[in-house]
């Protein structure tokens, strides 16, 4: 198929270490080697480690790269800001640390031709590869997905992989429809379960979603507080269900 015009959204929070590892350069190298009409939007979520200045300096004079500075409101708000600024017909959001390498995009693109409006990377279905992940994190992910399927959306085995491709108009519509993950000030780094709310609303609207196996490499980070974040995310999926029961997604 003809390669699509693509916007790539990369949320960032205290990413100095990953910047120094060359994570953005790996994205640039991939795009340089592929015949894609693209733009990259890096959205900083109020970082405090000096990384915004480094990223802005690196992006300066690079065509098709853009930097957006957000207040600290969590990953959902950062991704939303990038998606709403996207100018191309399709939008991918991918994590700064490239835990799922940008090259995995090659596996997602063919599903656009099949008529899917959303194509998500998955670490759980047949053909996926997870590397270097501690057993307890994998176990906690399994438990979380059990409750996701029980309470909100069934049939998706991995809602939390940070590698998702959308028709841009669909993504913009979905982010505007979020209720639980509306922007608000955060005290800590927080990824959250905004992916669940996005996919829940999409499923409710009958939007076709493809789940595609990808390679994923665990990157140690101090930005995730497993117990605190897991409890908060559990209550958020309950809140998503309650919001739906009371007509919040009509």
Report pLDDT digits (tens) over 27-77.
Answer: 999 998 887 789 999 999 999 999 999 999 999 989 899 999 999 999 999
Quick one: pLDDT at residue 7? 97
Total number of domains constituting the chain: 1
Question: In whole angstroms, how far apart are CA 46 and each of 66, 74, 154, 187?
Answer: 16, 9, 34, 11
Q: Using 50, 70 and 90 to split pLDDT, how confident is the model at 178?
A: very high
Q: Is residue 212 part of a domain?
A: yes
Q: Is residue 92 part of a domain?
A: yes
Query: In this model, does residue 246 exceed pLDDT 90?
Result: yes
CATH of the domain at 109: 3.90.550.10
What is the pTM for the complete model shown? Answer: 0.94
Q: Is residue 183 part of a domain?
A: yes
Query: In this model, does residue 22 exceed pLDDT 70?
Result: yes
* DSSP 8-state secondary structure symbol assigned to residue 3: P
Q: Is residue 184 part of a domain?
A: yes
Query: In this model, does residue 179 exceed pLDDT 80?
Result: yes
Contacts of 47 (CB under 8 A, 6+ apart): 12, 13, 14, 15, 16
Quick one: pLDDT at residue 137? 86
As a whole number, the mean pLDDT across the chain is: 93
Give the domain extent around 209.
5-245
- pLDDT tens digits, 187-231: 888 889 999 999 999 999 999 999 999 999 988 765 666 678 889
Q: Is residue 250 part of a domain?
A: no
Strands of 118-122's sheet, edge to edge? Answer: 65-70, 37-45, 5-12, 90-94, 163-167, 118-122, 209-213
- Pairing of β 163-167 and β 118-122: antiparallel
């Amino acid at each position: 198929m003809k390669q699509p015009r693509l916007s790539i959204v990369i949320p960032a929070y205290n990413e100095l270490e990953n910047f120094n590892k060359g994570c953005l350069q790996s994205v640039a190298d991939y795009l340089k080697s592929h015949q894609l009409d693209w733009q990259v939007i890096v959205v900083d979520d109020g970082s405090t480690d000096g990384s915004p200045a480094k990223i802005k300096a690196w992006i300066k004079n690079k065509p098709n790269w853009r930097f957006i500075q957000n207040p600290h409101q969590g990953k959902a708000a950062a991704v939303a800001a990038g998606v709403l600024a996207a100018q191309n017909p399709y939008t991918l959001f991918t994590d700064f640390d490239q835990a799922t390498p940008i090259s995995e995009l090659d596996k997602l693109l063919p599903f656009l031709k099949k008529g899917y409006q959303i194509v998500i990377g998955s670490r759980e279905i047949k053909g996926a590869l997870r590397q270097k992940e501690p057993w307890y994190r994998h176990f906690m992910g399994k438990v979380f997905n059990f409750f996701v399927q029980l309470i909100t959306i069934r049939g998706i085995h991995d809602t939390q992989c940070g590698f998702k491709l959308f028709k841009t108009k669909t993504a913009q519509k979905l982010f505007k429809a979020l209720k639980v993950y509306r922007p608000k000030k955060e005290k800590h780094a927080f990824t959250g379960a905004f992916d669940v709310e996005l996919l829940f609303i999409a499923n409710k609207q009958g939007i076709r979603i493809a789940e595609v196996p990808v390679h994923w490499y665990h990157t140690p980070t101090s930005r995730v507080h497993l117990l605190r974040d897991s409890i908060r995310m559990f209550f958020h999926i309950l809140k998503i269900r309650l919001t739906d029961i009371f007509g919040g997604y009509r």
